[in-house]
Amino acid sequence: MSSEFNGKVAVITGGGGVLCSTMAKALANEGVKVAILDLKAENAEQVAAEITATGGTAIGVACNVLDIESIKAAHEVVLQKLGGCDILINGAGGNHPKGTTSNTHFLESDLDAQQEGLRTFFDLDPEGIKFVFDLNFIGSLLPTQVFAKDMVKKPGSVIINISSMNAFRPLTKIPAYSGAKAAISNFTQWLATHFSKVGIRVNALAPGFFLTEQNRTLLTNADGSLTDRGNTIISHTPMGRFGTPDDLTGTLLYLCGEGSKFVTGVVIPIDGGFSAYSGV
């Protein structure tokens, strides 16, 4: 067990999800006490139970990252049960169908199309777009406001945001999610500068394409074969596969540890080469 992590406290929002639960388990394996925050209490408690079953220390806490009072209440639970936060992972995020177009390109014929369910750029719902921006950006800002106060008193603390490939180049169909993740990358740089004098480092992971419950039906068919979009992604990923949750943990531990003590304000792609490939 690594002495540099032993006894530290990590708070992970969206911790009930596939990627963030894997991060939680990786930190717990290093001796970190982990608070799993999730909108669904049962998901948070399930991940915490899996960690404690293997000898780690973890608690599950219900938390709505868009409700400051809910975050403050979760903070009190963490303080009482684990102590002040050393590592904050802003993992809560996601997309919404109302901020997504049906097709990759707009055609003139779409203006008069009567196709049921067709959503063009002109049909995007402002409320759906607002939901995506709030969940990804405000849902990272508010937990940081609450938990980073612990960190000011504990130099060497770390904040990890979750950006995306969309932040480098927007993907087709998902303008709201692309814009929101670009905001996360920008916020990471801003926050790194803002907190630099109190010893808090702020960096971000930018996952490439990982199969999760949120995107599985977009990328794979019921029989497990790839959809057209899934094939396009794999053909533009030099390593030729989707990421697995464990692919994130090495970079996560690096950014949380002493090996990156002079690293702040960076967004690291973990994408199998997707961001490096021009498509030609």
Let me know if residue 114 belongs to a domain.
yes
Mean pLDDT of 93-99: 92
Whole-angstrom Cα distance, residue 273 to residue 280?
13
Let me know if residue 92 belongs to a domain.
yes
8 A C-beta contact, residue 65 and residue 143: yes
pLDDT digits (tens, 9 = 90+) for 205-253: 999 998 877 677 778 888 888 888 888 999 999 999 999 999 999 999 9
Let me know if residue 2 belongs to a domain.
no
Q: Which of 190, 254, 260, 216 is nearest to 270 (CA)?
A: 254
Let me know if residue 99 belongs to a domain.
yes
Let me know if residue 224 belongs to a domain.
no
Q: Find how far residue 276's CA is from the centre of its chain.
A: 21
- The secondary structure of residue 160, as a DSSP letter, is E
Let me know if residue 228 belongs to a domain.
no
Let me know if residue 19 belongs to a domain.
yes
Let me know if residue 227 belongs to a domain.
no
Q: What's the pLDDT at 224?
A: 81
**Domain encompassing residue 157:** 9-214+244-276
- Diameter over CA atoms, the chain: 65
Q: What CATH number does the domain containing 74 carry? A: 3.40.50.720
Q: What's the pLDDT at 165?
A: 92
Task: Using DSSP, state whether 183 is helix, strand or coil.
Answer: helix
pLDDT digits (tens, 9 = 90+) for 133-179: 999 999 999 999 999 999 998 889 999 999 999 999 999 999 999 99
Query: What percentage of the chain has pLDDT greater than the value 70?
Result: 99
Residue 176 backbone zone (phi > 0: left; psi -120 to 50: alpha; other: beta): alpha
Distance (Å) of CA 131 to CA 15, 102, 177: 20, 18, 10
Pairing of strands 267-270, 9-13: unpaired
* 47 against 228, higher pLDDT: 47
State how many domains the chain has.
1
List % helix, strand, coil for the chain (3-state, nearest 5). 50, 15, 40
Helices 249-256, 18-29: axis angle to 10 degrees equals 50
Q: What's the pLDDT at 113?
A: 80
Which residue among the candidates 137, 177, 195, 210 is catalytic per the annotation? Answer: 177
Active-site annotation holds for 177? yes
